Amino acid sequence: MSHIASANDLAAGQGGAPARSEPLPLEFPGIHHMDEEEIDAATRVLKARSPFRYYGIDLQGEVAAFEGEFAGFLGVPHAVAVSSGTGGLFVALASLGVGPGQEVIIPAYFWVSIASAVVSLGAIPVVADIDDTFCLDPDAVEKAMTPRTSGIVLVHMSGAPGNAPAIAAVARKRGLFLLEDCAQCAGGAIDGRKVGTFGDAAIFSFQMNKNMTAGEGGCFVTNDAALHRRAVASHDLGYARDENGRLLVDRPELMLWGMGYRLDELRAAVLRVQLRKLPAVTGAMRKSKYRIRAALREMGGVQLRRVLDESGDTGCFLITTYPDRARAVEVNARLRSEGIRTFEQGISNILMTDWGLHLYYNNASLVQRASRDRGGFPWNLAENAGSTARYDKGTCPYADSLFERSILLPIPSCLTPRDQDDIIRAFERSLRD
């Protein structure tokens, strides 16, 4: 007999037993797959007593090797490993020349670091609406442009790629830079082309919640050799280095300001192992997610996130959307009473309005135009005078509506067929009238 109960069994709210009696597994995808290989990699660096990338008593070259392997995985010529995704954003935007007098278009569904990097460099972020991919809407990007717009940050949110081909076409047509933020979508692709290869540059995060991780870490990638040189200098001390790690301070085009976001050898060694495991991790999440999505399609009464290329979805989140707020609240409560939640430390089955700093209007510093200094930087700068960007709820109506009506469920890579059955059964019961 199938583990999935017949459609007329009692829901938990009607006195029936919940679909699950124990929480869903608590998982941070890369962490779940850590084993002796990562231990050996870290030990190799420690035994050599050489944790710094540019020189040491027995330099292992782990960061350089990781950069080569990660660039090769994506199919780009250049990568600069950094100590966090946030650091990657600062390095990328600084290398792209972002500064006062410029506006940078960012999506309504994002992460706080993106706004932070733009504002910290003296520019003004402009939030543009998303579409049913939950990523930037190409039409909204066009509408958000002003004569000051210098570039676009496309964020591939919650594991699935945004419409990178369309956004790249808009950027090209208008002469703007395109930076892809792939922090939540490492290993994602559209029609076989990896995210991170569509724009002028891209960044990744290897913080613990991500598809591959060393606890912290990140990477900047680009096809552009000059941009690469600027990023190398920016992430370090502001200057180029020779092959022995010595600073070259006599290159006028590379006299920049360093930001101190270098990655260390220990984490690079771990990331080299995690990169090899990435396809298996995303493959497992994708398989579970698309089994659940296929079942949801049969049930009706629920709208699924539009995914441009299902085979390029990394699978780490399932987003479902309902006709109105009341129904989303009801289905979420029913799913929870059916036991669809995880341990307290994990991201659980949540209404998207509870998704914190991922929603533009929840960023108080942005809504209130908080300053980096005591003088009102960068909002008070003469170069930024007249910028009319706003950030309060109502600025991006389609995003607001999607956030109100949607539920986010993380999909662990370790879900068993039985766990999947439980989730499907819980949805079946929760979607009944």
Among this protein's residues, is 210 annotated catalytic?
Answer: yes
Distance CA 330, CA 230 (A): 51
The span of 106-114, 292-300, 308-316, 320-328 binding ligand PLP (CB under 6 A) equals: 106-114
Residue 274 interacting with ligand PLP (CB under 6 A): no
Q: How far is the CB of 73 from ligand PLP (least distance, A)?
A: 18
Nearer residue to ligand PLP within complex by CB, 111 or 239: 111
Strand-strand pairing, 303-304 and 240-241: unpaired
Map residue 118 onto helix, strand or coil. helix
Residue 155 interacting with ligand PLP (CB under 6 A): yes
Q: Work out which of 207, 314, 348, 420 binds ligand PLP, going by CB under 6 A.
A: 207
**Size, binding site for ligand PLP by CB under 6 A:** 13
What are the helix (H) ranges across 239-396?
265-299, 325-337, 364-367
- Among 47, 173, 210, 287, which one carries the catalytic annotation? 210
In 3-state terms the chain splits into helix, strand, coil percentages (rounded to 5) of 40, 15, 45
- For ligand PLP, the binding residues in 279-308 under the rule CB under 6 A are none
Q: Are 376 and 248 in contact (CB under 8 A)?
A: no
Count, residues in the chain = 433
Residue of closest CB approach to ligand PLP: 85
Nearer residue to ligand PLP within complex by CB, 90 or 391: 90
What are the helix (H) ranges across 49-99?
62-74, 85-95
Map residue 256 onto helix, strand or coil. coil
Q: Work out which of 70, 111, 220, 427 binds ligand PLP, going by CB under 6 A.
A: 111
Q: How far is CA 120 from the centre of its chain?
A: 20
The tokens for 306 are: 């539009």
Residue 314 interacting with ligand PLP (CB under 6 A): no
Nearer residue to ligand PLP within complex by CB, 254 or 259: 259
Nearest to 164 by CA among 197, 119, 122, 205: 197
The span of 5-13, 54-62, 176-184, 292-300 binding ligand PLP (CB under 6 A) equals: 176-184
- 79-98 mask for ligand PLP (x: CB under 6 A)? -----xxx------------
- For ligand PLP, the binding residues in 112-151 under the rule CB under 6 A are 113-114
Q: How far is the CB of 292 from ligand PLP (least distance, A)?
A: 23
Q: Work out which of 124, 140, 183, 423 binds ligand PLP, going by CB under 6 A.
A: 183
Q: Are 84 and 111 in contact (CB under 8 A)?
A: no
Nearer residue to ligand PLP within complex by CB, 114 or 331: 114
Q: Work out which of 50, 102, 163, 184 binds ligand PLP, going by CB under 6 A.
A: 184
How far is residue 414 from each of residues 26, 53, 279, 280, measured CA to CA in Å?
A: 9, 34, 14, 11
Q: Are 66 and 218 in contact (CB under 8 A)?
A: no
How far is residue 376 from each of residues 368, 379, 380, measured CA to CA in Å?
A: 11, 6, 5
- Binding stretches for ligand PLP (CB under 6 A): 84-86, 111, 113-114, 155, 181, 183-184, 205, 207, 218
Catalytic residue list: 210
